[in-house]
Structure 1
Amino acid sequence: MLRYTLKRLGIFAGCLVVVWGLVYSGVFPRGLGDSNGMWIILLALVISAPISFVALRQERDRASEQVVRRVDRMKANLDANRSQEDLADDTARAQGQTS
């Protein structure tokens, strides 16, 4: 999961540098007034999103498998705890009835 995040940030940083260079060289238009920095960031986000979607498909699949395994493990632990609680409750009720 961390690997995916770092690669995604790397793609964004690369796009940010490229967009910054293209804006200051005049290829892309500058933002209005003082919005130039925000314009560069938004443009880099828009460009990096589809690149990340295509380039990081395997990383995204790997990260989602890790999340699924983690959720399945948590569900199994919850079921085990629930079974122990049910057993303890049944035992307590059985002892309460025999007293």
Structure 2
Amino acid sequence: MLRYTLMRLGIFVGCLVVVWGLVYSGIAPRGLGDSNYMWVVLLSLVISAPISFVVLRGERDRASAEVIARVDRAKANLEANRNQEDVADDAARAQGRAS
């Protein structure tokens, strides 16, 4: 998961550098007034999103498999805890009836 995040961040930073260069060289338009920095960041986000979607498909699938495995383990642990509570409750009720 961390690998995917770092790769995605790397693509964003690469796009940020390219967009910054294009804006300051005059090839891409500047933002209005003092919004130039925000313009560069937003344009970089818009460009990096589809690139990440296509380029990191395999890594995203591996990361989602990790998340699914963690969720399945957590569900199994919760179910085991519920079963232990049910057994303890049943044992306490049975002991109470025997008394």
TM-score bucket of the superposed structures, by smaller chain: over 0.9
Matches of 1:67 and 1:75, distance apart in 2:
12
Identity %: 79
1:4 counterpart residue number: 4
CA RMSD of aligned residues (A): 0.3
1:50 counterpart residue number: 50
Matches of 1:48 and 1:65, distance apart in 2:
23
Ranges in structure 2 where 5+ consecutive residues have no aligned partner: none
CA offset at residue 91 of structure 1? 0.1
1:39-66 per-residue CA deviation (whole Å, 9 max, x = no partner) reads 0000000000000000000110000000
1:42-99 per-residue CA deviation (whole Å, 9 max, x = no partner) reads 0000000000000000110000000000000001001111110000000000000010
Matches of 2:42 and 2:8, distance apart in 1:
15
Match of 1:38, SS state, is helix
CA offset at residue 38 of structure 1? 0.3
2:88 counterpart residue number: 88
Matches of 1:91 and 1:13, distance apart in 2:
60
